[in-house]
Amino acid sequence: MVEIIPKELPKIPKWINILFYVLAFLLVASIITFFVLRSSVNRSVEELASLNSQLEEKNLPEVTDLEKEIIGYKTLFQDFEIILGEHKENTRSFAFLEKIVHSSVWFSSLSLAPTEEKVVLSGVARNFNSLGQQMLVLKDREELNDFKLVAASINSKAQIDFELHLYFNPGYLNAKN
């Protein structure tokens, strides 16, 4: 049925109108910002291309010589890095000796053969008792595969000169600390 009496349209709340205008303003601002940024990026790309072409034109012989020299140093550093990476730290033998040396025994020379996992020690002990105690300490060490007292003699000061070979477990001397 058709109504003859016109009815008043419902009023839209004021906050919806304000929201509409704010969103419309943001839409227009976003579109304008998009085009401004796009034009700025295009200008920057053109400027970069211009600067690159100028740089290529001004590629002086001194600069190319300097670049070659720098590349040479770079390869030297890379070679040094490879050498340093392959270097084995054999300081574990010293740390081991610090732990196990008897107070009446001192070593006068040390020869290290890391590929054989072997350390040859020459030293002096106060007496045979001290040397025997040192051997007992070595016997109980897990790091050692074997050890041998190669020579022992009494010197002019009535002390014991000796040579000792320590054989470490495989990989112990060459392992990273």
Q: At what angle do helices 92-100 and 128-139 cross, to 10 degrees?
A: 120
Domain segments of the chain: what residues?
15-85, 92-168
**Domain spanning 92-168: CATH superfamily:** General secretion pathway protein M, EpsM (3.30.1360.100)
Instruction: Give the pLDDT score at 64.
Output: 75
The per-residue pLDDT string of the chain (177 residues; one tens digit each, 9 = 90 and over) reads 567 777 787 888 899 999 999 999 999 999 999 999 999 999 999 999 998 887 777 766 777 788 888 888 888 888 888 877 766 666 777 888 888 888 999 999 988 887 788 899 999 999 999 999 999 999 988 889 899 999 999 999 999 999 999 998 887 776 655
Question: Sign of torsion, CA 150 156 158 159?
Answer: negative
CA distances from 164 to 35, 101, 117, 161, 174 (A): 84, 12, 14, 10, 20
The number of CA neighbours under 13 Å toward the Cβ of 149 is 17
